[in-house]
Amino acid sequence: MTTIENTDFFSMDRRTFLKVVGAIGASAFLGVHHTDITKALEISKTKIIWIHGAECTGCSESLLDAGNPDIVQAIQKLNVDVVYHETLLAQQGIFVDGKPAGTSELNSEILLDEAIEEGDYILVVEGAVANGPNGTGKYCMYGERTFKEIFKKAASNATFIMAVGMCATYGGINAADSEIVDMTDFRGVAFQRVDPSKGMLTELGIEKPVINIAGCPAHPDWILLTLAAVILGKIQLNDLDSILDKYKRPLVFFPEDITLHENCPRRGYYDKGIFDTEFSGDACLWKLGCKGPYTHSDCALRRWNGSVNMCTQAGSPCISCCEPGFFDNGAPFYQEAEDKAIFSGLNMDNAAKIGIGAAAVGVAAHAARRILFDNNNEKEEEK
C-alpha cells in the first residue's frame, strides 16, 4: 500500500494503472487517489445512461451493495451524472393518444429520449436484448416500445458501451438452451453466447467500442474500476484489444492464463486429492460440480461482500458464471463435469488414460498440465 500511496496518479501509464486497479479494490484505489481524481475530473462530468433489458436487476443490486465506496460515494468521486437508470428512477410516464406527454421532469420516457439526443454519454446495458419473434423484439417491451428499439437508439449515440452481467454480455439465462430459445432470440450486446456474429450490435449494424463485464452478478469492483479507467482516460477506446480478451472482458479481472481454481481457498485439498461428496464439508468441491478449474476470474483474490468471502469459501461450488455460454456451460451445477476440459484440454477421462487416477487427480493433474504446457511451447518453437 505504501508503494501505491507514493505513486503519482497523473504519471501512471495505462499498464501501471490497470495493474494497480487489478491488485487492489475500488475502495483502496479511490481512497488513496481521491484528491488526484478530483483534480482530474473537476472540469468535466461524465454522463451515464443505464438501461435494462431482460434480466433480474441482480447486477444493479450487486453495485448497490458495494460497501466502500458505496454507489453514492463512487458517483461523487468520479464526478458522474447518472442521467438515467431504469430501476433507480421513480419511473412515471404520461401518454396522450399513445404518445409521451409532459416534460422530462414528469415523464421518464421523455427524459430518456432527451438524454440520448444530447449524446456524449457512456451507455451501460444490463440485461439481454430480445430479437424475437421474427426480428421484432416484442418479447421485451417497455410501454409501447420494444427494448430492442430503445437499445438501438441509445447505442447509436453513445460514446462507448459497457455491458454489465451475463445477460447483457452473452445473453445469459435468457439465451440458455430451451424449446423457445430460437423464438425469443435473446442477444447480448456484442455476443450471443460465444458467437460475436449474433451480438445485437451486429444485428443492428452498429459499430461501437464495447467492454463486457461478465458475472452473474458482476462484482462492484469490476464495474466501478472499469468505469473509472475509462473516465480517467486510462483506457483508450480506440485500443481496447490490448486490454480485453477475445470475449471483450478486461484481462485484469478475467485473466486468460489463471483460473479461479488457482487461488481457491480449498485448493490445498484438491492438490491432495481430497474431495467433498456432500455439502457442508471443508474439502475440494470438484465432485460436487465445482467449475473453478476452467473459470477465468479474480473472484478468489478479490472476493465478495467487502472482500471477505466467495462462493467456494462459503461452501458452494463455482458455477462458472463469468464464462461465455453460461448458463448451459455450467449446468448441471452440482454434478462433476467429467467431460469438461480441466487443464490444457485434458478431461477426467483422458487423465485416467495417461495414468492419473481420479482419487489422486490433484497433484498429478498439475504435473500433467506443466508437461502439456511445455510440449505446446516446444511445438510453437518448432513452427
At 144, list the grid cell: 409501447
CA distances from 232 to 34, 71, 226, 267 (A): 12, 18, 10, 37
First to last CA, the chain: 44
What is the pLDDT, as a whole number, of residue 88?
A: 83
Q: Residue 66: its pLDDT value, please?
A: 77
Taken as a whole, the chain contains a residue count of 383
Cell digits of residue 90 = 421513480
Residue 228: what pLDDT? 83
For each of the domains in the chain, give its residue range(s) and CATH number, in order of start: 2-242 (3.40.50.700), 260-382 (4.10.480.10)
Strands (E), the chain: 46-52, 80-85, 95-96, 99-100, 121-126, 129-130, 141-142, 145-146, 160-164, 186-187, 210-213
Query: Sheet of 80-85: strands edge to edge?
Result: 80-85, 46-52, 121-126, 160-164, 210-213
Tell me if 14 sits within 8 A of 251, measured CB to CB: no
pLDDT in tens, the chain (383 residues): 445 455 555 555 656 666 666 665 555 665 555 555 555 555 457 899 999 999 999 999 998 887 666 677 777 777 788 899 988 887 677 766 667 777 777 788 889 999 999 999 999 999 999 999 999 999 999 888 999 999 999 999 999 999 999 999 999 999 999 999 999 999 999 999 999 999 999 999 999 999 999 999 999 889 988 888 888 788 889 889 999 999 999 999 999 989 999 999 999 999 999 999 999 999 999 999 999 998 999 999 989 988 889 999 999 999 999 999 999 988 889 988 765 554 444 454 444 344 334 434 444 444 444 444 444 444 444 54
* pTM greater than the 0.95 cutoff: no
On the 0-12 / 13-18 / 19+ scale of CB atoms within 10 A, 51 is: buried
β-pairing verdict for 141-142 and 145-146: antiparallel
pLDDT at 27: 54
Q: What is the pLDDT of residue 364?
A: 45
Three-class secondary structure of residue 185 per DSSP: coil
Is the Cα dihedral 81, 82, 88, 90 positive or negative?
Answer: positive
pLDDT of 330 reads 87
